[in-house]
Structure formats: C-alpha cells, structure tokens
Amino acid sequence: MPDTAQEVPHQTTEKLPRVFYRLALGDALSTYGSQLDLVALSLFAYEAAGNALGTAGYLILRLTGGFAGGMVAGRLVARVDRRRLMTGCALAQAVALVVVALAPVSLRIPVLYPLALVFGGAAAVCAVALRTSIPEMVGAERRARANSLMATCRSAAMVLGFASAGVVVAWAGFRAALLIDASSFVVFAAVVVRLPLRTRPEPAERPVADIDADTDSGADTGAGKAKRFGSRWQALIVLRAAPVVGAMAAIRLLDAFGSAAHNIGLPVFANQHDPGNPAALLGMFWATWAVGNLGAQQLVSRLMLCRGIEPGERAFALGTCLMSGCFILIFTGLPTPLFLLVAIGAGFGDGFTEISYTTRIQALADERRGQAFGLLASAENVGMGAGMLLSGTLLSLLSPLTVVGVSHAVPIVLAMGFLVHVTRSRKR
C-alpha cells in the first residue's frame, strides 16, 4: 500500500494550461446552477404538491437518478467520447430545466418527477467523465493541482448558489430562476465542446499504473478479466484490483449520510439558537466553511505540491476525521469565535478530503478510473438519500447534536481504521 505522501516529479510546480482555468470556471458556473436549481426545484415541488412530500419525492428521485448514473458512468466514459458525453449531459439538464419552467401549472408535478431522474443521472455521469479526464487534460503529475483548483471553484459556486437561491426565486420567480439555471449549463457545454485538451490517453500510450493492483491483489485482475467476465462486472474487478477504492467508497457513503444529517440539522439548530434571525447564523456558517475550503486548496497548492508531496490515502482519512469531528462540534453550542473556527475546520477537512480522494482515484489506469468514480458517485447518492430519509425522521425525536453526532461518528471510526491499515501496510 502506498504512502499518503507520494513523490511526484518536479513538473508539479508548473502552471496548469490556461484553457483549464476556463474549464474550471465553466464547471463552477454549472455547479452554481446545480445548487440554484436544487433549491428552486425543491421549493417548486413543495408549492406544486402543496406539502413536504412533494419536495421529498423530488429529492429521492433526483438521488435515484444520481445512483443510476454512477452505476453506468464507468461504461459510458470508456466507450463514448468524453467531451461529447459532458456536453450532452449539460445540455440534457438545460433542456429539462426549460421544460419544467415552461410546463403549465397542471402538469408541473407529472413533468418534474420524471425529469428529476434526468437531473441526477446527467449530473453524476458528467462529474465522472470530467474527473476521469483530468489526468489526460493536464498530465498525471499535475492532477492534484488541477483537482485543487476545481474543488476551490466548485466550493465557492456551491456557497454562492445556496446563498442566492432564495433571493433569485423571490425576486425573479421560479420560471426565471430555472431559465437562469439552464443558461449556466449551456455555457458549460459551450466551454467543453471547444476545449482544446484531450480527454483520454493516446492509443499507443501506456496508461497510469494502478498503484494497488500489484501490492494488494496481483496484476491478473485488470482489464483482461473485465473483458472476460463482461462489462457489468467491471466495478467488482476494480475493487478486487484496488481494494482501497472499496474502502474509500464505504467512507464516502457514510460521510454522505453524515452530510445529509448536518444539512437537515443546521436549519433546526439555527432556529433553536437564534430564533430571531436563523438565516444569519446559517449564512455565517457557510461563509466561514468556504474560507476553510479555500484554505485546503492553498495548503495543497502552496505547501504540499511545491515540495513534491501528493495527497493520498492517509490525507483522505485525516481529512474525513477533521471534517466529521468539526461538524459534530458545530452543534454543541460553542461561543461565536470557536463556532467560526470550527466551521473553518469543517470546510478545510471537506476540501482536503475532496482533493485527496479525487487525486488518489485518478492514479488508477484509465480503463478503471471511470468505474471507480462511478462507484463512488453511486455510493455518495445512496448515503445522501438514506441520510435524508432517516435524519429527517430522527430529528423529530432527537436533538440535532445527537443525530449529527451519531451520523458523523461512524465515518470517523471507519476512517481511523482505514488510517491504521494504511499506516501498517506502509511499515510492512
């Protein structure tokens, strides 16, 4: 098992291609649209159905689409041109948003629910295709720097999307908000289709070595077996070749469960501790969380990569523990200075974990990379969906601290066990 701090060539300090910054901004814009339409369509479903079940049904279908998209994404990125795949997914979301926006009032629910599957599935496939392509776009030695940039832009867009969603809907209305969302996906599609970067290795090129294939299970579990047993078993073959992917998928699933708990619990906590202005508490939390997330990008870019250190398994485990621990502390009723400090820690751990696991999975060979990212996307959607259903029920019976504490304690325990295993393997 490789160490977390893997030596990388000196080229890591080189700047990324200029056009990649354009892609990062386009991805951030589409992320903003995703967060905006998530809030807008949830409220849209609530008003159309007249009860909370309308929102719950929409969110469950959207997560179901994300799970299904993750399951098929590996095969799609292996067989379809990735640039066209990302463009098609972005345009599919744009068209779906336009259809919902223009649908008559009587048809809103019948139109929205099937299209929720499109939103979730297209977003998952597009994310897998993009992450799988990054090592080919910028070079394997600069993938950590690229992931850091993408995570930073994406986090800023998420905060801005959540913060502005209510204002946009209140000021412009649902129809205008959805059309604004659709335009963000059209812009992303236009950026991708004109991107002068390759998205898969040259046929004669030897792919990036699978780090765990030799150390964990032997090299006989690669692409040959994938072809022998059929494409539907490729995900299992990837897990056998690189068990670390399975461990990361399990941790991400439980982490997504905890994320659902704190996302549902934060409004409850804010109303309990600041009933006069709960929105101010939420806004303060997410703003400071974003500061921590940006700090993770700076750590990776300025301190680790400049010294030839690439984040890996141990960084992923430590980041998960920091993030989950800080989210638990958020609900303990800390004084404002400590509350802000812990919020920064949560954002830092979140960003560091995202960069670490994305960079680690991208070390897999190209033919396994898409399957691994698809598996992780499905796991995250399962965790988020189960977390929303269970946490929403438990919060009516238990305090937010209890629900969030238990939900985030489980990934901490699993991440600590993973860290011990990685450390012992390294010593051996």
| Average confidence (pLDDT) over 339-358 | 89
Q: What is the largest CA-CA distance in the chain?
A: 65
Q: What is the CATH number for 313?
A: 1.20.1250.20
Domain membership flag for residue 228: yes
pLDDT at 239 over 80: no
Domain membership flag for residue 312: yes
Q: At residue 5, what are phi and psi to the nearest 5 degrees?
A: -90, 95
Q: How confident is the model at residue 48 (pLDDT cuts 50, 70, 90)?
A: confident
Take residue 19 and report the two structure tokens written for it.
């056009």
Higher per-residue confidence, 101 vs 206:
101
Higher per-residue confidence, 242 vs 168:
168
Which of 358, 374, 378, 376 has its CA nearest to residue 135? 358
Domain membership flag for residue 330: yes
Expressed as residue numbers, the domain containing 417 is 6-201+210-427
Higher per-residue confidence, 50 vs 218:
50
In the chain, the N- to C-terminal Cα span, in Å, equals 9
pLDDT at 250 over 60: yes
Domain membership flag for residue 40: yes
169 Cβ partners below 8 Å, 6+ apart?
39, 40, 43, 177
Take residue 115 and report the two structure tokens written for it.
């299209």
pLDDT value at residue 276: 76
Domain membership flag for residue 95: yes
Domain membership flag for residue 21: yes
Tally of domains in the chain: 1
Question: Per the confidence metrics, is the pTM higher than 0.85?
Answer: no
Take residue 205 and report the two structure tokens written for it.
């090129």
Contact 359, 4 (CB under 8 A): no
Domain membership flag for residue 96: yes
Q: Strand 6-7 to strand 309-310: parallel, antiparallel, or no bridges (unpaired)?
A: antiparallel
Distance CA(30)–CA(70), nearest Å, equals: 18
Domain membership flag for residue 1: no
Q: How confident is the model at residue 305 (pLDDT cuts 50, 70, 90)?
A: low
pLDDT value at residue 279: 67
pLDDT tens digits along 158-217: 778 777 777 787 788 888 888 988 999 999 999 999 888 888 776 655 444 444 433 343
pLDDT tens digits along 356-404: 888 888 888 887 888 888 888 888 888 888 888 888 788 888 888 999 9
